[in-house]
Amino acid sequence: MLSTWAASLPFEPELNMKPLARTALALGLFAAIMLPATGSASASQPSGDSAAKSSGGVTVIRSIPSSGNLNVSVPGGNSVKFSIESNITTGYAYTVKTGKNTAAARVSKVSYVAPNNGLMGAPGHSVVTVKPSNSGITKLTFTLTSPSGEVAERSTVTLEFMND
């Protein structure tokens, strides 16, 4: 069976490989095929109006730019929930800092919600909630930090809470 599989490869693997090397080659090829289908561990660029959706008094933001700025107008009376796909098992983690805050909003710390699909290593979501006291502006800076402590991504989100 290995010789049939090896014949389909664009290169000639050494068929006399040790079992461990054969297993590593097979796992590497499997990962190369399957990983692109699982998505990435970082936030993605918003696409059109899918970046923010309002539902029952809560505006949900599912993506932020990997760098740069995002401006969102929030209907009066709504709070905001950021639910950004991420994978803490990779060692990358989000932090959020509040800048200008004329809306006197309470901003939660980032919490990680693991996936409930039972798949090991599957991405979950980094969640932040923002609850304004009044209309105004709240400016947030999201930073994605690598396991080594280096900044991988940084973006600023400006929330404009409208009057009721």
4-33, pLDDT tens digit by residue?
444 554 545 454 545 555 554 444 434 433
Low-confidence ranges of the chain (pLDDT < 70): 1-56
Outline which parts of the chain fall under CATH 2.60.40.2020: 48-161
The amino acid at 131: K
Contact indicator for 152, 42 with CB cutoff of 8 Å: yes
pLDDT at residue 162 in the model: 95
pLDDT at residue 49 in the model: 36
Contact indicator for 89, 121 with CB cutoff of 8 Å: yes
CATH architecture of the domain covering 48-161: Sandwich (2.60)
pLDDT at residue 120 in the model: 86
The amino acid at 133: S
Q: What angle do CA 79, 81, 84 make, to 5 degrees?
A: 160
pLDDT at residue 95 in the model: 96
